[in-house]
Chains A and B, each alone.
Chain A
Amino acid sequence: AQSVTQPDIHITVSEGASLELRCNYSYGATPYLFWYVQSPGQGLQLLLKYFSGDTLVQGIKGFEAEFKRSQSSFNLRKPSVHWSDAAEYFCAVAPAGTASKLTFGTGTRLQVTL
């Protein structure tokens, strides 16, 4: 069965600092990979996704993620964090070829200090 691990429950960064959120997955083949963001009291919004091809994918709000097959990782990065980025971030995987059944990680809560 596929699984997703987000090892950091809570991260605090200063505004303007760089950010990296970690995501590791366990799956027999290369799955579809996603990052979602959830602002307080809101639903989930897709930040970016990887299916194949270029291993560095760009998303909305200045986020990017890099797929590393050898490490089974799909880490999310942002060069300079803004206070409005404070939210909870979820990594998710789905079987390759379909986005039907998403398996989510437990999430990382990002706090941004001014």
Chain B
Amino acid sequence: NAGVTQTPKFQVLKTGQSMTLQCAQDMNHNSMYWYRQDPGMGLRLIYYSASEGTTDKGEVPNGYNVSRLNKREFSLRLESAAPSQTSVYFCASRARGGETQYFGPGTRLLVL
């Protein structure tokens, strides 16, 4: 039982490049989330998926798209990366009716 896994662990992009951050959970959770963490700002919600087939915007969705591929996987895509998207990205999941979000180890992204 690996919990929540994220790939890659670290990525460097040039401005304008695209990439997809992958997240998977093996806990049969319904809800999944993408956050970004910036110094002095805590974690901010980018997008979430309450269940397979649904996605909703969070606090800071601009510049991102998401796909809930199946119950296990929730990906975050940057179509045209910008330096302002340099951050640490965390994926989380939560069981239906559950009270706790479980976090992955994070992806550190640097956009030059």
Residues of A bordering B, CB below 8 Å: 4, 9, 32, 34, 36, 41-46, 49, 51, 90, 99-102, 104-107
Q: A32-B99, A43-B105 are in contact. List 13 more A-B contacts (CB 8 A).
A: A36-B103, A43-B4, A43-B103, A44-B43, A45-B103, A46-B100, A46-B101, A49-B100, A51-B99, A90-B43, A101-B45, A104-B44, A106-B41
Complex Cα spacing A90 to B50, Å: 23
Q: Which of A32, A42, A105, A106 has the most CB of B within 10 A?
A: A106
Range, interface on chain B: 20 to 34
Q: Do A99 and B99 form a contact, CB below 8 Å, given A9-B40, A43-B106, A106-B40? A: yes
Complex Cα spacing A104 to B59, Å: 12
Distance between A43 CB and nearest chain B CB, rounded to angstroms? 4
Across-interface contacts of A46 in B (CB, < 8 A):
100-102
Across-interface contacts of B106 in A (CB, < 8 A):
42-43
CB-nearest residue of chain B relative to A9? B40
Across-interface contacts of A102 in B (CB, < 8 A):
43, 45, 101
Inter-chain contact A99/B42, CB cutoff 8 Å: no
Inter-chain contact A100/B31, CB cutoff 8 Å: yes
